[in-house]
Structure 1
Amino acid sequence: MENKTLNTQARAKWKKVAYGGMQPGYADNYTDESFLEDMVMNANVVKRDLLKVMLDSVSITQYLCVVVLVVCVWTYTLSARIDGRTLHLVNAVLLGMGFLVLVLTETKLSISLLLHYLLNIAYFISGLYVLAPLYCTLTRSISSDSIWALTVFLLVIHLFLHDYSGSTIRPPGALKNPTLTSNISLNASIVASVLIASRLPSRHHVFSIMLFSLQIFLFSPLVMYCIKKYNTKVHLCFSLLLTCATLAILFPLHHSLFALFLVLLLFIIVVCPYWLIRIQEYKFEINGPWDEAKLCYDITE
């Protein structure tokens, strides 16, 4: 009688229970034929398009051109190929163009917003002009080789930690808290600008190069974000013009660096997206009833 009862329990149908313990006649790790019926493969894998990835990589090459352009202006200024008057003119043109882009791409334009822009710009320029004499004597006891090495190191940190997606960029009227990495990136670029400006002979040169550098590092991400948000085609045209201008300025400075930078741009735009698409074929993700349960709440009730 006892053996018959055990055989009946062993032939009982197995049920999947969460906290029911062991079922008589089955091992604790037993699974039946229906175990893999709910298996889903690559449910959360995003299939990427090559052209879309290449267009997304334009933001990276665009900012690389911005940083290289700043370094070229630094080099030309330190070698006295660009004087203070030319830098003042460049700063005025950049400031006017950036202000115009913000105004044209702003959907909720008002007199108070224009005054807010003008006051912030006035405070920024005034504070920079007052601090210019301090920057002149900041690194007199440090050799130029050390300054350049530290500047390159800071720019590498800036490029490595920069927010290329634009998720931490704060457009006018938006409230977004910048991340730690974006703050470190911005501070690294500012310190690099101060180090380069400290090697210039006069306060006017220091003021001009600091204004130029901070306009680029502080405001160019916001301007490029507004252009990209406004129109994708305009953003691509702007990126093409910026790339051509950067290459044109870099070519007379150093031919080898020009070739290296051109190869780097092609590598980022063409090779890296192609690699990303190719390795996507090896993406293998399995989901099923063994995954951790996810609680769903109905907020309408």
Structure 2
Amino acid sequence: MDTHFSADSSLSTSRWRKVAYGGMQPGYDDNHTDETFLEDMVMNANVVKRNMLKVMQDSVSISQYLCIAALVVLVWIYTLRSTLNENSLLLLDVSLLGSGFIILVLTEEMLSLERLLNYVLNVSFFTTGLFVLALIYQTLTRSISSDSIWAVTISLLLLHLFLHDYSGSTIRPSGALKNPNLTSCISLNASIVASVFIASRLPSRVHVFATMLFSLQIFLFAPLVTYCIKKYSFRLHLLFSLGLMAVTLTFVYSLHCLLSVFRLPAFGGNIHIRICPTKMPDVK
């Protein structure tokens, strides 16, 4: 009798444990909990405290690349309107290529002669292949309407901007901590296809080659150059971004299609933007 009573008391005084699939514990109800039930719960374990200054500094890269993409679209529109001819585009391509190499030489600390020659060789092969394919690109979308081309191009550019890696470069520079990820590669491919669609509406092979070379220089090599500038000096990166923003707003204003008035009140008012609707260039 005493033995049976001691066994029952030991079962009733056994410590309750948290078990997921242990069934009902003797001496406790099925929904019983005690003070140890939530002792291991961790709240807000993955919350990252943001520094306002750091967020503002990181947003400079986003604004910078948005200006770069806007300049590409402006060059496309000027080319389709025959404002820029093939000679001007080729001169622009050579200027951008030369200035890009100069910036790489001045900013990359670990840039060796072998790596520089590798850059030059790759650009030479890239330019030669692009000139050979320009004839194919010229007739690629001949049977597609211009409205469809503009719709697909705008969609691809939005996809490019949404997936673009604003903290790095699609081409892995020396000293980079990580390789380009999948989303940045998809973003680059979307920009290349958009460039092909626009270039296919141009009248001559030289036009197509010059436009494609310009677009690929911007979408492929501009992130590498801006990454090297930012790594070299943040102050230089900030000045370059401000200059790029000023140039972009100037060309947008002169185009009179995206932005007509951009007025910033003197003392903390709202930004007033007036959009002027204009007809997109009719490309045949």
Give the TM-score normalised by the residue count of structure 1.
0.76
2:8 counterpart (6, 24, 30):
6
Residue aligning to 1:171: 173
Residue 41 of structure 1 aligns to a residue whose secondary structure is coil
Letter in 2 for 1:222: L
Give 1:74-93 correspondences, 5 Å limit. 74-93=76-95
Residue 252 of structure 2 aligns to a residue whose secondary structure is helix
Residue 33 of structure 1 aligns to a residue whose secondary structure is coil
- Kindly report the root-mean-square deviation, in angstroms, between the aligned alpha carbons of the 2 structures: 2.8
Give 1:160-239 correspondences, 5 Å limit. 160-166=162-168, 169-172=171-174, 178-239=180-241
Residue aligning to 2:140: 138
Deviation at 1:95, TM superposition (A): 0.7
Q: Is the 8 A contact 1:88 1:208 kept in 2?
A: yes
1:208-252 Cα distance to aligned partner (Å, 9 max, x none): 111110100111111112222222222222111111111111112
Residue aligning to 1:111: 113
Q: Is the 8 A contact 1:162 1:182 kept in 2?
A: yes
Residue aligning to 1:60: 62
Query: How has the CA–CA distance of structure 1 residues 229 and 90 changed in structure 2, closer, same or farther, with 3 Å as cutoff?
Result: same
- Provide the C-alpha distance between the structure 2 equivalents of 1:256 and 1:71, rounded to a whole number of angstroms: 11
Letter in 2 for 1:127: G
Letter in 2 for 1:154: L
Deviation at 1:87, TM superposition (A): 1.4
Residue aligning to 2:256: 254
1:71 counterpart (70, 73, 93):
73
- How many residues are treated as equivalent by the alignment? 261
Q: Is the 8 A contact 1:98 1:223 kept in 2?
A: yes
1:89-123 Cα distance to aligned partner (Å, 9 max, x none): 21122111211222222222322122111111111
Give 1:17-56 correspondences, 5 Å limit. 23-56=25-58
User: Which consecutive residues of structure 1, in runs of 5 or more, have no partner in the other structure?
Assistant: 263-301
Q: Is the 8 A contact 2:157 2:190 kept in 1?
A: yes
Q: Is the 8 A contact 1:247 1:258 kept in 2?
A: no
12-21 or 190-199: bigger deviation:
12-21
212-221 or 97-106: bigger deviation:
97-106
- Provide the C-alpha distance between the structure 1 equivalents of 2:171 and 2:56, rounded to a whole number of angstroms: 22
Deviation at 1:69, TM superposition (A): 0.6
Q: Which has the higher contact order (CA 8 A, sep 6+)?
A: 1
- Provide the C-alpha distance between the structure 2 equivalents of 1:191 and 1:246, rounded to a whole number of angstroms: 23
Deviation at 1:198, TM superposition (A): 1.5
User: Which consecutive residues of structure 2, in runs of 5 or more, have no partner in the other structure?
Assistant: 265-284
